[in-house]
C-alpha cells in the first residue's frame, strides 16, 4: 500500500522527472538518425524517458510556483538549441546534395524523405554516408554524453538563454558554408566541364550540345562523387569536432 509518506517522498522526484523529460524529449526528437522519423516513435519516447529516469535521482531542480512557466520555456529553448546544433549538420549535407543534383541535372528526380521532406537521390546518398560515418565514429554516444553533462553544468532554473539565441542563428550561416564545402568538388568539376563544352560548341556549332552535356554531366558528376568520398569524410570529421565544440560553447554561454 502506498501511504501519504511515500507520496510525499516521491513528489520531488516526480517534479524532477517531468522537468528533465522536457529537455530530453525535445533534444532526442531533434537528433539525426536516433531521433529520425524512420525509427518508431516509441523508440524516441523510450530513449527520452530512459534519460530522464536515469538523471532524476542525481539532478536537483529548484522551482517555485511562480517560476514554473519560465522554467519550462528555458528548458525547451536550451534543448532546442542543443538539438539544432546537431540537426544543422545533416541539413547542410542535404543541402549539398541538392546543389550537386542541380549541377548534374538530376534535381527533377526527387523523392519524399520523411525526415527532411522533398529531397533528391544524391541527398539520400549523402545522408546515408553521413549516417554511417556518424555511427561508426561513435558520435551519437559523445553527443548524448555532452547532453547529459549539460544537466550538471546547466541546472534547471539557472539558465541564461538570451546569449544562446544569436549563437543558434549564427549556426544557420555555417550551414550554407558547410554545404558549399561538401558540394564544391562536384559543382566546380561540372562548371569546368560546362565551360569546356561551351568552347566545343563555339568550335562546332552544328553539334547538339544539349544531348552531349546531359549524360556527360551525370557520368562525370557520379565519378567525382566517388573520387571525393575521402574529402566528404574529412569535412564530416572536422564538422563533428566543431559540433562538439559548438555544443560546449552553447552550454558555456547559457551559464553566463
Percent of the chain with pLDDT over 90: 0
| Highest mean pLDDT: which range of 34-48, 76-90, 97-111, 143-157 | 76-90
The pLDDT of residue 3: 58
Ranges of each domain in the chain: 4-255
247 has pLDDT over 70 = yes
The pLDDT of residue 81: 87
115 has pLDDT over 60 = no
**Closest CA relative to residue 227, chosen from 188, 174, 175:** 188
Place of cell 521532406: 117
Cβ proximity of 182 and 235 under 8 Å: yes
Q: Which three cell numbers stand for residue 31?
A: 537528433
The pLDDT of residue 241: 83
Q: Using one digit for the tens of pLDDT, what is the confidence trace for 187-204?
A: 888 888 888 887 777 777
Residue 238 CA to residue 65 CA, distance in Å, equals 45
Helix (H) or strand (E) holding 59: none
Cβ proximity of 123 and 11 under 8 Å: no
Residue 38 CA to residue 114 CA, distance in Å, equals 7
**213 or 45: whose pLDDT is higher?**
45
This prediction has a pTM of 0.80
The pLDDT of residue 4: 55
Q: Average pLDDT, whole number, for the chain?
A: 80
The pLDDT of residue 110: 61
The pLDDT of residue 140: 83
Q: How far is CA 140 from the centre of its chain?
A: 11
Helical H segments across 33-163, by residue range: 41-55, 68-104, 121-136, 139-153
Q: Using one digit for the tens of pLDDT, what is the confidence trace for 143-189?
A: 888 888 888 888 776 777 788 888 888 887 888 888 888 888 888 88
Helix (H) or strand (E) holding 111: strand 110-113
Amino acid at each position: 500500500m502506498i501511504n501519504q509518506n511515500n507520496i510525499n517522498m516521491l513528489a520531488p522526484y516526480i517534479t524532477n522527472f517531468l522537468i528533465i523529460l522536457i529537455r530530453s524529449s525535445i533534444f532526442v526528437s531533434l537528433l539525426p538518425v536516433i531521433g529520425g522519423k524512420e525509427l518508431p516513435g516509441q523508440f524516441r519516447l523510450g530513449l527520452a524517458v530512459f534519460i530522464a529516469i536515469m538523471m532524476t535521482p542525481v539532478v536537483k531542480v529548484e522551482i517555485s510556483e511562480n517560476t514554473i512557466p519560465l522554467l519550462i520555456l528555458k528548458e525547451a529553448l536550451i534543448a532546442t538549441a542543443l538539438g539544432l546544433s546537431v540537426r544543422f549538420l545533416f541539413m547542410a549535407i542535404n543541402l549539398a546534395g541538392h546543389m550537386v543534383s542541380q549541377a548534374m541535372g538530376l534535381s527533377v528526380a526527387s523523392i519524399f524523405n520523411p525526415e527532411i521532406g522533398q529531397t533528391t537521390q544524391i541527398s539520400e546518398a549523402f545522408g546515408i554516408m553521413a549516417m554511417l560515418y556518424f555511427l561508426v565514429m561513435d558520435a551519437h554516444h559523445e553527443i548524448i554524453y555532452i547532453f547529459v553533462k549539460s544537466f550538471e553544468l546547466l541546472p534547471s532554473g539557472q539558465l541564461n538563454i538570451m546569449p544562446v539565441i544569436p549563437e543558434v542563428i549564427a549556426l544557420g550561416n555555417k550551414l550554407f558554408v558547410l554545404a558549399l564545402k561538401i558540394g564544391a568538388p562536384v559543382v566546380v568539376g561540372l562548371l569546368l566541364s560546362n565551360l569546356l563544352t561551351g568552347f566545343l560548341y563555339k568550335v562546332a556549332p552544328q553539334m547538339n550540345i544539349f544531348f552531349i552535356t546531359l549524360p556527360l554531366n551525370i557520368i562525370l558528376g557520379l565519378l567525382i562523387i566517388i573520387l571525393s568520398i575521402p574529402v566528404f569524410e574529412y569535412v564530416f570529421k572536422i564538422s563533428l569536432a566543431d559540433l562538439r565544440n559548438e555544443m560546449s560553447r552553447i552550454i558555456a554561454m547559457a551559464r553566463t
